[in-house]
Amino acid sequence: MTRFAIPLLIVLCVLLGLSTHMVVNCGDEDDPDICSAVIGFSPLRGSLIAFAYEGRGRIALRHGDFRRAIADFDEAIHLNPNRAALYRDRALARRQNGDLELAIADYDEAIAHDPKLAAPYHQRGLALAATGDLDRAILSYNTAVRLDPSDAQARLDRGLAFLARGQADDARADFEAALALPAGKDGRAREAARAKLAELASAEPAQVSVP
């Protein structure tokens, strides 16, 4: 190896490292043009460039451009079909866009690729409940709660599904369980559970004492 080859190799490795970092992390910015530039000019192709489509899709999702997000997630999945997060992201975009059946299918794919993660079961439950399929929604929430018992929002949403199905006692149990969890990031879920418990209490017939 010549004396010029080693410095050139170091420069190429640095440039490749920077390129890889930009591809993987362009979605952390708020400018989709950065991801677009990465897609257009990065020497990296194949499954690695899928991260740039994923990043641009997430930016579009944050901005409410659901159709653009879906198109980018489509391309990312085409390039890297085994990444569960891509199906979760596309499912969220489809659910926000009103494509509930397609969202449910994507949650199914995400779960097939990573069955131990609670979030897609919870999110699939939300999509199923929105279609009126409360039985399957509750089954999906059951798995979410089993995998992550500390998720107050999942307990709240399952309680709401029970309530919609007329199972007030099961709903009350979930609302109480949500309140019993340690206070943390689920503050809104806890407040919603408290409000639902108050509604249930006010709907109960008053106890009349018999002399």
Mean pLDDT for 126-133 is: 98
* Model pLDDT, residue 30: 63
Work out the mean pLDDT of the chain and round it to a whole number: 83
Structure confidence at residue 17 as a pLDDT band (50, 70, 90): very low
Q: Which residue has the higher pLDDT, 185 or 207?
A: 185
* Model pLDDT, residue 145: 98
Mean pLDDT for 128-154 is: 97
* Model pLDDT, residue 15: 38
Q: Which residues of 93-113 are buried (b: 16+ CB within 10 A; e: fewer)?
A: bbbebebbebbbbbbebbbeb
Phi, psi (degrees; rounded to nearest 5) at 49? -70, -15
The per-residue pLDDT for range 39-98, each reduced to its tens digit, is 666 555 556 778 888 988 999 999 999 999 999 999 999 999 999 999 999 999 999 999
Angle between helices 84-96 and 119-131 in degrees, nearest 10: 30
The per-residue pLDDT for range 95-124, each reduced to its tens digit, is 999 999 999 999 999 999 999 999 999 999
Taking the C-alpha atoms of residue 158 and residue 16, their distance in angstroms, rounded to an integer, is: 47
The per-residue pLDDT for range 185-197, each reduced to its tens digit, is 778 999 999 999 9
Structure confidence at residue 25 as a pLDDT band (50, 70, 90): low
Taking the C-alpha atoms of residue 123 and residue 34, their distance in angstroms, rounded to an integer, is: 30
Taking the C-alpha atoms of residue 111 and residue 12, their distance in angstroms, rounded to an integer, is: 39
Residue 45 CA: distances (Å) to CA of 13, 17, 24, 51, 56: 16, 14, 12, 10, 16
Q: Helical H runs in the chain? A: 5-25, 32-41, 50-62, 66-79, 84-96, 100-113, 119-131, 134-147, 152-164, 168-180, 187-203
Question: CA-CA-CA-CA torsion for 18, 23, 24, 30, nearest 10 degrees?
Answer: 110
* Model pLDDT, residue 46: 59
The per-residue pLDDT for range 149-178, each reduced to its tens digit, is 999 999 999 999 999 999 999 999 999 999
